[in-house]
Amino acid sequence: MSDRNRNQLPNNLPQLQNLIKRDPESYKEEFYQQHRHYKSNLQIFHLKPSQHSKTLQELVMFLCQIAHCYPDELNSLPQELTELLQKQSTVLDPDMRMAFCKGLILLRNKNLITPNSLLELFFELLRCQDKLLRKTLNNYIVQDIRSINAKHKNNKVNTSLQNFIYTMLRDSNVTAAKTSLDIMMELYRRNIWKDEKTVNVIVTACFSKVTKILVAALKFFLGSDDDGGDGKESDSESEDEGPSAKQLLLAQRVNKKTRKRQKQTSRALKVINKHKKKKKVESFNFSAIHLVHDPQSFAERLFKQLEGSNERFEVKLMLMNLISRLVGIHQLFLFNFYPFLQRFIQPHQKEVTKLLLYSAQASHELVPPDIIQSLIMTLVNNFVTERNSSEVMAVGLNAVREVCARCPLAMNSDLLIDLAQYKNYKNKSVMSAARSLIGLFRNVNPELLHRKDRGKPTEHSLDIQPKEYGELVAPDFIPGAEVLKNAAELKEAQIEEVGWESCSDSGDDSDGSWHDVVHSDDEVPKNKEGGVEDGLTAAERQARASEISSSRLLTQDEFKEIRVKQMQREMEGAKVKKGKKRKLNTSIEEEERGEILSLDRIEAIKYRPRHDKESRLTTVMGGREGREKYTKQKRRQNPNSSTSNKEKEKKKPFMMVKQKRNIKGKQKRSFREKQIALRDSLIKRMKNSK
């Protein structure tokens, strides 16, 4: 019989593995033979663990594949592999170490080993100087923890692993500590361990003496979570609420074209765009900062670390950024941080726009105004001066605007009036920045502005009341609900509707005409559209809105009506005494500021500076690249035909055609020539008159 047909089960492990999985009892003898073979090879391997043994590697994978078929005989296999990796992990051959780890992964997939013991072993193996092994273990740890928490959170396993990772972050091996931190951050980003304990374990890494671990932890808190799940939904909702921009443009195109109507349409478009930005769902891109247990002490420790840090300037910037976000989001008190920032606020400072950004982020309403006022004065003195370039001045004004947006009480009237003078500056970027500052205080505290800068008063602006330091406004009603009908008016409207329907249905008793309905004497006056008249005082509107909000639940149509009315109040001017007409506010519409400020708000240079001659020539020559050379088009129908005499004359020298063309130079006529010309013209005129 040939070797091809001979039974090779003792040596063909894949074939034996397949047969055992189908019928374990029939191949028990072959299994025992391979198991004894494994035991003998394992004893030999213990003598020289640094050498590679292909036979042992194949036997380990074979036994791990069929371990579920003989659980009693192979109950000690996980412990043997675990002890081998624990004791000899650093001296093992890389291929043998990888084979043992893959064997344990197979046993874990068959639930023959507990997750805690295996994952803790894998965390310890991260100390090995084997990049491929660390990458494999990293991916498996994340996937295994994900599968453990797939159906429900396994708090027992999660807590023990989190405690073990906490000890690994303080491990002397930098690679193991950094990889453990990466695993924990990856589990947070995948929403597997997105809880307070995970965040506060990562907080401890922010105080590591290893720069690599420190930077990784700082990037985690400064990074963003892409939780954009409701974006489309909010966009679709915004299209259905209130008058759309498309409807306004259609009305502008159909109606009579007047300058007043055009101004009203442009103002309405601005208000609609601003309300669309307000209706966006607030997404917390930096939710990890919200889960810190003690943000005040965390910020204080970070600031102490920053003051004594010898790290690179880029790392210091990251520390400043995190401190400013903690102070701004949690509204902390860290008064020494502002003088620390003032030392770096100079136009020549490296990354100065980021420092201005951190100054604005660290400002909030609970900081005493005199502390922020010192910061603003430093900004104005170092940036908003005519000895600096226009770009520097614009950046300084933008920074002042963002600081004041978060702490309006830090600005005084004299300084604001001085800064508002730049609204007519020769440079457009400075002018735009100054006008945006004016636009901010028109909505926050218009009394600080000069009278001519307050803009045309509207009903909305008349209701603005500047808040005092520490004042908290918590309305117990829905603002704008006074335009709706209260319960009594709704009931009366229903009675009128029922009465009109009954009158129209009865053919003999009524002719279908309207009937007068007696109203109560204390009814609120209405305008032509059926809403509340605009002549009500602020207190009366507030009382009516509170009554309506507390008496019933509002529908979506009623909320839509409120929003339309509020937009109308922002557009329409208030009824004030006639006087000099003020210009329309053309300042930049302020975007809604989230928890984290964007660097574009500081570096908002709206207009590009003029190019010099060299840059213009570079742009021109760059546009000519790859373009055919410009030549005069040939207008002849047949391009192969010969040229005409007229075309040939154009190519001849001028002296050759001068005689033929009878060209005379510019010569002054003599007196006799002028007499002859006058005589001829008079004779010609006399002949024509006859």
Task: Indicate which CATH number applies to the domain containing 383.
Answer: 1.25.10
Is there a single domain that holds both residue 411 and residue 437?
A: yes
Is there a single domain that holds both residue 489 and residue 408?
A: no
94-103, 121-130, 505-514, 566-575: segment of lowest average pLDDT: 505-514
Percent of the chain with pLDDT over 70: 76
Mark which of 573, 597, 631 sits at the end of a domain. Answer: 573
- For the range 415-420, what are the long-range contacts, defined as Cβ-Cβ under 8 Å and sequence gap of 24 or more? 415/376, 415/377, 415/380, 416/441, 416/448, 416/449, 417/449, 417/450, 417/453, 419/380, 419/384, 420/449, 420/450, 420/453
**Number of folded domains that form the chain:** 3
**Using one digit for the tens of pLDDT, what is the confidence trace for 438-495?**
989 888 888 888 888 887 766 666 666 777 777 777 777 777 777 777 666 666 666 6
Is there a single domain that holds both residue 321 and residue 382?
A: yes
Domain membership of residue 420 (yes or no) is yes
Is there a single domain that holds both residue 486 and residue 443?
A: no
The backbone torsions φ and ψ at residue 686, rounded to the nearest 5 degrees and listed phi first, read -65, -40
Is there a single domain that holds both residue 57 and residue 105?
A: yes
Domain membership of residue 648 (yes or no) is no
Domain membership of residue 512 (yes or no) is no
CA 196 – CA 217 distance, rounded (Å): 15
Domain membership of residue 600 (yes or no) is no
**Using one digit for the tens of pLDDT, what is the confidence trace for 577-620?**
444 444 434 333 344 456 678 888 888 776 666 677 888 888 88
Mark which of 113, 138, 156 sits at the end of a domain. Answer: 113
**Using one digit for the tens of pLDDT, what is the confidence trace for 377-431?**
999 999 999 899 989 999 999 999 999 999 999 999 999 999 999 999 988 889 9
CB of 242 within 8 A of CB of 565?
Answer: no
Give 226 or 390, the one with higher predicted confidence.
390
Q: Is the pLDDT of residue 25 over 70?
A: yes
Residue 17 structural domain: 9-113
Looking at residue 608, its pLDDT comes to 63
CB of 463 within 8 A of CB of 431?
Answer: no
What is the token pair recorded at 355? 């420092």
Q: Dihedral sign for Cα 347, 350, 353, 359, please.
A: negative
Is there a single domain that holds both residue 313 and residue 415?
A: yes
**Using one digit for the tens of pLDDT, what is the confidence trace for 561-588?**
877 777 766 665 544 444 444 443 433 3
**Using one digit for the tens of pLDDT, what is the confidence trace for 321-350?**
999 999 999 999 999 999 999 999 999 999
Give the mean pLDDT of 181-191: 91
Is there a single domain that holds both residue 420 and residue 568?
A: no
Mark which of 78, 113, 148 sits at the end of a domain. Answer: 113
**Using one digit for the tens of pLDDT, what is the confidence trace for 269-327?**
777 776 655 444 444 446 789 899 999 999 999 999 999 999 999 999 999 999 999 99
Q: How confident is the model at residue 689 (pLDDT cuts 50, 70, 90)?
A: confident
* pTM for this model (two decimals): 0.68
Is there a single domain that holds both residue 415 and residue 485?
A: no
What is the token pair recorded at 544? 């009516």
DSSP string, 252-274: HHHS---HHHHHHHHHHHHHHHH
Looking at residue 633, its pLDDT comes to 63
Is there a single domain that holds both residue 548 and residue 450?
A: no
Give the mean pLDDT of 93-105: 93
Strand partners, 526: 532
Domain membership of residue 610 (yes or no) is no
In terms of C-beta density within 10 A (0-12 exposed, 13-18 middle, 19 or more buried), how is residue 548 classed?
A: buried
